[in-house]
A and B are shown apart, each in its own frame.
Chain A
Amino acid sequence: MYRYDEFDHAFVEARVNQFSDQVARRLSGEISEDAFKPLRLMNGVYLQLHAYMLRVAIPYGTLNGRQMRKLAHIARTYDRGYGHFTTRQNIQYNWPALSDIPAILKELAEVEMHAIQTSGNCIRNVTADHFAGAAADEVADPRPYAEILRQWSSVHPEFSFLPRKFKIAVTGSERDRAAIQVHDIGLQLKKDEEGRLGFAVWIGGGQGRTPILAKKIRDFLPEADLLSYTTAIMRVYNLHGRRDNKYKARIKILVHETGVEQLSAEIEAEWAHLKDGELKLPDADIAAINTYFAPPALTPRAEGWGELAAWKKSDPGFAEWVGRNVAPHRHPDYAMVTISLKPIGGIPGDASADQMDAVARLAQEFAHDEIRVTHEQNLVLPHVALSDLEPLYRALLTDGLATANAGLITDIIACPGLDYCALANARSIPVAQEISNRFGDPKRQAEIGELKIKISGCINACGHHHVGHIGILGVEKKGAELYQISLGGSGDEYASIGQITGRGFEPGEITDAIETIVDTYLANRTDTDESFIECYRRIGADPFKAALYSSEAEAA
């Protein structure tokens, strides 16, 4: 993985010192809250309902054991013993004191981490496929390009005060595991007919109060042109993006209002001035960054094939976990392991300090010291020998980390909601917990198959409800919580925005409504191979609406 060079160390240290001074001056009363707020936000510090919140960047979701141990240490020393992994592959601490944040940032810098640009109207942490560098279907590792973008965008003077926040995601294969079509810029690594590496470029995707899928503006951009072309997009957005209305300031609105053809032409015109200039990436620089992400030396471990078969036969729980949470690695003797942070009835994305320590230890023992954070709020060990799966599973079991539900109905994304968030209108976590408990039986989950439920506690859509197969949006109506359901959303390469079913449901009704939807799917699917989203796309919303609202129709 990437290691800081002297410049990176000096840059982060200078920023820690600068912000420490700003915090000291704020605490002494030298600067007002109005002056301090934009400074703290630039350093990832929010004020929520109960306390400050610190959002720490995990670039493209990649961590090593030492870094995870530091996150555990921070949770234990400065917070309440846990952290929350988010849909942007970051971690949030819910209870840090402002007076402790300089010390926390100093500790993070020791392990090459920071909280810079995790808030504010700038280019945020660049996200990537969590299976990067290991997936069997990968064209190329997206992380070197995410790292190039990170270096280029960090305190970029031209792009630090954009009309609104800006999110870039990179995926390395046709199968989109980074949800690129709901990002401001989405990049898909691919090869052209001559075998050259480059990107399909998408712009203008986003969720929030106006969900819009991105438009592809280039089918192939050579890798050397990554920064010059991205700069062209940013310049056009920075110039024309609306600053009069924060709700219309994202690039998706600019694309929508201007039209993709005209905007694309403006980007191409801007790029014409930039493409052969200093932003063109030299092959040597790309190669240098790529060396940081060289895959670990994976020695053949063919004995794992036979062992795995025997273990699966003798332990149904292990077999179930392998079936759900283990995916093929490009090396046949290895696998990618998803560590679910969705225990039945638990809080999606939360991990205790002890669990973080356990994951760090297991990554070092079994997974070449690599950990990933997924946008679905789980963790991944990307390089585990088949021969090590059984001891890994045993260890995960003891730490409450072996829930076999990756991709199933209880693998729910949920934002912190009104239990923590100052922006929220309704709670998300209790809804996720009740659904998880209702469907927690392993047999029932397996029968239902792949089904992604995503829950947001407000219109900002941090819980990605617009792209949930079943999306749930919490709103406040007449002072009470109400939950709107949308169906048919998807955040993968066949991206779609979910459609609202009708009137919302009260907290006591929402789990029953989800069960009605699931039962309708089970009654209508052609066979067990037809997933929920496939079934929905075939039969449409009407059977689900009829099931949800039939009693009202009869009453009328």
Chain B
Amino acid sequence: MKTTQMKTKVLTANRLTDGISVWLGANGEWTTSLRDAFLARHEDAVAAIEAAGHQALADNRVVDVNVIEIEETEGGPRPYRLRERIRADGPTIDYAPAAAARVSQAA
């Protein structure tokens, strides 16, 4: 019988105090870098990070807790959804004031 490989998952949320995007690390601490996230590769691991997420929400450490799917690449974990890639890497634009300063110099 053909078996479907489970997609690797990580746990993400936003920090309560400042809303910054965070991922659950292997040491149980929340990290601001997706590269340091704990990779859940089987169902038991997924259940464990889900439980950790519920607890962190109940403990008022984070909000908006979600399990997301990633692919493991040479460059590190890469979310399948663009939304999650942007959460991990920040806005795809060179936002102000750096951008505004360059436009000003060009004018």
Contact = CB atoms under 8 A, between A and B. Distances in A.
A52 B18 CA distance: 7
Contacts of A403: 107
A145 interface: no
Nearest to A420: B91
Contacts of A424: 83
A398 B100 CA distance: 11
Interface in B50-89: 57, 59-60, 63-64, 80-83, 86-87
B27 interface: no
Contacts of A346: 99-100, 103
A398 B104 contact: yes
Contacts of A27: 16-17, 60
A33 B19 contact: no
Interface majority SS (helix, strand, loop, mixed), chain B: loop
A353 B100 CA distance: 10
Given A347-B99, A419-B91, A481-B82, A49 B60 contact: no
B101 A352 contact: yes
B104 A399 contact: yes
A402 B20 contact: no
Interface string B1-41: 00000000000001011111100000000000000000000
B47 to A, nearest CB: 22
Nearest to B59: A29
Interface size of A as a range? 35 or more
B104 to A, nearest CB: 3
Interface size of B as a range? 20 to 34
A429 interface: yes
B59 to A, nearest CB: 7
B107 A419 contact: no
A479 B82 contact: yes
Most buried by A among B63, B81, B96: B96
Contact of B82 (A355, A400, A418): A418
A98 B14 CA distance: 11
Contact of A352 (B80, B91, B97): B97
Nearest to B21: A50
B6 to A, nearest CB: 18
A97 interface: yes
A302 B16 CA distance: 58
B32 to A, nearest CB: 10
Given A427-B92, A480-B82, A47 B14 contact: yes
A397 interface: yes
Contacts of B81: 479
Contact of B18 (A32, A98, A351): A98
B95 A347 contact: yes
Given A27-B16, A51-B18, A419 B86 contact: yes
Contact of B100 (A350, A430, A481): A350
A433 interface: yes
Given A418-B82, A480-B82, A354 B97 contact: yes
A47 B17 CA distance: 11
A347 B19 contact: no
Interface string A394-436: 0001111011000000000000001110001001011001000
A165 to B, nearest CB: 21
Nearest to A401: B104
Contacts of B59: 29
A291 interface: no
Nearest to B57: A33
Contacts of A521: none
Contacts of A352: 96-97, 100-101
A98 B21 contact: no
16 contacts: A32-B60, A33-B16, A50-B20, A51-B18, A51-B19, A97-B19, A343-B100, A347-B93, A347-B96, A353-B97, A400-B101, A400-B104, A420-B91, A427-B86, A427-B92, A479-B81
Interface of B: 14, 16-21, 57, 59-60, 63-64, 80-83, 86-87, 90-93, 95-97, 99-101, 103-104, 107
**Which 4 pairs of residues, A with B, have the shortest CB-CB distance?**
A400-B104, A352-B97, A82-B96, A97-B18
